[in-house]
């Protein structure tokens, strides 16, 4: 016997790498999804820029339109997969205003206009679902928002950008060239429309803001996230990291800090040295992983595909089923929890361990001078490895591991080292995370 379900009209905005796969899966598995959602999900239309553009999958031509507004205004659930700020923001506000629930994968929009969208949804009792906005197919938004709602998250260390992990991994395993690997990531549909968002860490910073907001019940604006990308990482830095027992990963680190009885948080994105024995070191290709430490639960690791059209479509469709269930059952929407309102400390006050690589002349007293500069800056040395190259005019490479130091102290000390007569060059300065 076929169950008669209430019909819900689903509007899809965007049919690119993710949207085309969402449409295909929705059409292919409609009956099954209806049983799970308790509602028939009717794909009412797909708004795009160019209805004649080639698509990754075959989709019925008659579903396509360039009139996003009319599509949105007649929908119960709106899936926004256009990306960027406008017209995505306006369409989502129109959807909420007309009583629809929204599903989006748009981290750029959520990280910059999240509070506006959530407030608009709260006012009318609608919901905004965004599982695909951080770490692609990996369920991490629900675990942070629901499963860990009774715990206190202490730290998140995440590989949350597939493109940069793919690039660093191929540089590490094949000695591949940065530009060539980036072109492959674009071809495979991992990279953002403008890949600067990936390689300069903007995409990871947006995801870090979203994850930290959920984990610490605090609104984290994007400009409070310290961000560095991977464009300065060279093959020789990767080789040196390997020799020292590390891999280089672009990390999003969200941390709860405690000092003098008060709490604050730090949210930062940068390439860091991760010990080869850490679970994050074995995250390869475009995969993502989010390592969460919580007071009661201990360490949890969420791992899987962080990018890719069909993989991300899985997370989007999970949200569509949730939105349909809520639409049928009624009740208030899923609100954001920002009550803790913890202060966000600037990067200068964050402490980590560092590895500093210097080229110095191989002469008596050089090591003592370098050690003196570090000591004057209040940076304590944990390890030193020296290698010497050349015979007539030998130069030495010093790899110095520090104890924990504040970013402020470290960067003033590195400036002093760069000025020092015995230092020929500062080759690299990388933080160490996950020890």
Enumerate binding residues for ligand HSE (CB under 6 A). Answer: 136, 161-163, 190-192, 198, 203, 306-307
Residue nearest to ligand NDP (CB): 16
Nearest distance, CB of residue 83 and ligand NDP, angstroms: 3
Region binding ligand NDP by CB under 6 A among candidate stretches 77-85, 229-237, 248-256, 320-328: 77-85
Between 202 and 354, CB nearer to ligand HSE: 202
Closer CB to ligand HSE, 111 or 360, in the complex? 111
Closest CB 298 distance from ligand HSE, rounded Å? 27
114 vs 308 by CB, closer to ligand NDP: 308
Judged by CB under 6 A, how many residues of this single chain contact ligand NDP? 30
Partner from ligand NDP, ligand HSE, none binding residue 68, C-beta < 5-8 Å depending on class: ligand NDP
Q: Spell out the SS3 assignment of the chain.
A: CCCCCCEEEEEEECCCCCHHHHHHHHHHCHHHHHHHHCCEEEEEEEECCCCCCCCCCCCCHHHEECCHHHHHHCCCEEEECCCCCCCHHHHHHHHHHCCCEEEECCHHHHHHHHHHHHHHHHHHCCCEECHHHCCCCCCCHHHHHHHCCCCCEEEEEEECCHHHHHHHHHHHHHCCCHHHHHHHHHHCCCCCCCCHHHHCCHHHHHHHHHHHHHHHCCCCCHHHCEECCCCCCCHHHHHHHHHCCEEEEEEEEEEEEEECCEEEEEEEEEEEEEECCCHHHHCCCCEEEEEEEECCCEEEEEEEECCCHHHHHHHHHHHHHHHHHHHHHCCCCCCCCCCCCCCECCHHHCEEEEEEEEEEECCCCHHHHHHHHHHHCCCCEEEEEEEEECCCCCEEEEEEEECCEEHHHHHHHHHHHHHCCCEEEEEEEEEECCC
Question: Cβ contacts of residue 314 below 8 Å, gap of 6+?
Answer: 137
Q: Which is nearer to ligand HSE, 290 or 429 (CB)?
A: 290
Q: Which residue of the set 61, 107, 207, 249 is catalytic?
A: 207
Shortest distance in whole angstroms from residue 247 CB to ligand NDP: 23
Stretch 18-47 residues interacting with ligand NDP (CB under 6 A): 18-19, 47
83 is a contact residue toward ligand NDP (CB under 6 A): yes
Is 107 catalytic? The answer is no
By CB under 6 A, residue 105 contacts ligand NDP: yes
Residue selected from 308, 333, 377, 434 as contacting ligand NDP according to rule CB under 6 A: 308
Which one of ligand HSE, ligand NDP, none interacts with residue 161, CB within 5 to 8 A by kind? ligand HSE
Q: How far is the CB of 230 from ligand HSE (least distance, A)?
A: 12
Give the x-and-dash track for 131-150 against ligand NDP (CB under 6 A): -x---x--------------
Among 24, 71, 78, 82, binds ligand NDP (CB under 6 A): 82
Residues at the contact surface with ligand NDP, assessed by CB under 6 A: 13-19, 47-50, 53, 68, 81-83, 87, 105-107, 132, 136, 189-190, 192-193, 307-309, 312
Catalytically active residues, by annotation: 207
């Amino acid at each position: 016997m076929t169950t008669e379900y209430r019909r819900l009209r689903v509007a899809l905005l965007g049919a690119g790498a993710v949207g085309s796969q969402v449409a295909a899966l929705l059409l292919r598995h409609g009956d099954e999804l209806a049983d799970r959602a308790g509602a028939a999900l009717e794909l009412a239309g797909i708004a795009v820029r160019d209805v004649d553009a080639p698509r990754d999958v075959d989709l019925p031509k008659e579903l396509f339109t360039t009139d996003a507004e009319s599509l949105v205004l007649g929908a119960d659930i709106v899936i926004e997969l256009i990306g960027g700020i406008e017209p995505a923001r306006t369409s989502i506000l129109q959807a909420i205003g007309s009583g629809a629930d929204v599903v989006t994968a748009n981290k750029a929009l959520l990280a910059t206009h999240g509070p506006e969208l959530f407030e608009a949804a709260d006012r009318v009792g609608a919901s905004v679902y965004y599982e695909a906005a951080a770490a692609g197919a990996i369920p991490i938004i629900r675990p942070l928002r629901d499963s860990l709602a009774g715990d206190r998250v202490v730290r998140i260390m995440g590989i949350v950008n597939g493109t940069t992990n793919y690039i660093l991994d191929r540089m590490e395993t094949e000695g591949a060239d940065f530009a060539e690997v980036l072109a492959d990531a674009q071809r495979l549909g991992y990279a953002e429309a403008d890949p600067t968002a990936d390689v300069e860490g903007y995409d990871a910073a947006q995801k870090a803001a979203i994850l930290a907001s959920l984990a610490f019940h605090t609104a984290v604006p994007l400009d409070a996230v310290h961000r560095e990308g991977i464009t300065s990482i060279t093959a020789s830095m990767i080789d040196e990291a390997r020799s020292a027992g590390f891999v280089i990963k672009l990390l999003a680190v969200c941390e709860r800090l405690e000092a003098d009885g008060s709490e604050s948080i730090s949210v930062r994105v940068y390439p860091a040295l991760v010990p080869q024995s850490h679970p994050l070191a074995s995250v390869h290709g475009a995969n993502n992983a989010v390592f969460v430490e919580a007071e009661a639960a201990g360490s949890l690791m969420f791992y899987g595909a962080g990018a890719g059209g069909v993989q991300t479509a899985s997370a989007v469709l999970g949200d569509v089923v949730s939105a349909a269930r809520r639409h049928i059952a009624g009740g208030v929407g899923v609100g954001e929890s920002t009550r803790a309102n913890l202060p966000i400390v600037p990067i200068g006050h964050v402490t980590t361990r560092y590895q500093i690589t210097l080229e110095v002349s191989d002469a008596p007293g050089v090591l003592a001078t370098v050690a003196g500069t570090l000591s004057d800056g209040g940076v304590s040395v944990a390890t030193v490895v020296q290698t010497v190259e050349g015979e007539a005019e030998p130069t030495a490479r010093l790899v110095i591991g520090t104890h924990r130091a504040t970013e402020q102290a470290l960067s003033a000390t590195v400036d002093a080292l760069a000025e020092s007569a015995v230092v020929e060059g500062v080759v690299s300065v990388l933080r160490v995370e996950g020890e």
